[in-house]
Structure 1
Amino acid sequence: MAQHAAGLNGRRMMSLPSLMLLAAAGALFVAALAHFACIAVGPRAYRLMGAGDSAARAAERGERGPHVAAFVVGSALLVVASYALSGAGWLPGLPLLRWVLGGVSLVLLARAFLFPLLRSHFPGNTDRFWWVSSTICLVLGGLLLFGAMPLWRVG
């Protein structure tokens, strides 16, 4: 999993792919916290995150939909963060590690590049939401993809 090289003074240094997976795990954790914050703070947080007035108004009316969506996305982000930590060698090996990291990276990259086609299906989301979230998906997808590449090497 994690690859280390000897550094200055004999200390171990992590490889670039492991550092990429650690950076992805940290960013995924922060993104999960942002989704959970929407649940705790309520409509104001949904608006701040750019989820749109429809989600914020639904939360104001006491509907569960926005909270359920935020919880599911936040939980999924924590799971992927755990897989990134596993790939970096900070957690024990998780099942289907390279498949999960590879699959999630492709989904994130697809989400980043296909957002112009997705926008019409989610008309309540703001332009800021689409640009910021697509940029985050691009960065996270790239970090996971390049960080997980050594896991696919055979022999």
Structure 2
Amino acid sequence: MELEQNNYLIAAAVCCVLAALAHAGCILFGADWYRFFGAGEAMAQMAEKKLWYPTVVTAGITAVLLIWAAYALAGAGVLSGLPLTRTALILISAVFLLRGLAFVWLMPKFPENSLTFWWVSSSICLVIGSLFAIGTVQRWQVLSSSA
């Protein structure tokens, strides 16, 4: 059975790749990018000092975003062979949606991040989480109706 293309999950994958590129840009271009994206002065200063922490944290986020993009493409029928695709898509949707909604509780834990960072990043997370959630539900409906 050939799967119908799922544009919501493809859009989610594109968003994840773009977010991963922005994070990779912080690693490559340093403190100014951390400041521009509102990651906080502490991260920017650590990047200026060439400390390992910003690079490792940002590389980890980049890797996760790329893995999540691959799962979105697997759910969309573009890639195949990823294990537990449905479960992963549900969890990814939940993480993005929770991150988007929970910023009020996260803000005090990261006081260096700007208010702009929290509003923009939380909005982006809500959009990407919605794309994942809608695409996942749509994929299940397609699979259920063809069974």
TM-score, normalised via structure 2 length: 0.92
Distance 2:2 2:32 in 1: 41
Report the Cα distance in structure 1 between the residues aligned to 2:56 and 2:13, rounded to whole angstroms: 23
Mapping of residues 1-155 of structure 1, within 5 Å: 3-4=3-4, 14=5, 18-153=6-141, 154=144, 155=147
Task: Measure, in 1, the Cα distance between the counterparts of 2:94 and 2:120.
Answer: 18
Q: Which runs of 5+ in 2 are unaligned?
A: none
Identity of aligned residues (%): 43
Q: Which portions of structure 1, spanning 4 or more consecutive aligned residues, are displaced by more than 4 angstroms? A: none
Q: Given that residues 98 and 151 in structure 1 are in contact (C-alpha distance below 8 angstroms), is that contact kept between their aligned partners in structure 2?
A: no
Per-residue deviation, 1:149: 1.3
- How many equivalent residue pairs? 143
Structure with the higher fraction of residues in helix conformation: 2
Q: Using structure 1 for the length normalisation, give the TM-score.
A: 0.87
Q: Which amino acid aligns with 2:129?
A: G
CA drift of 1:93 comes to 3.4
RMSD of aligned residue pairs (Cα, Å) = 1.5
When Rg is computed on C-alpha atoms for both structures, the one with the higher figure is 1
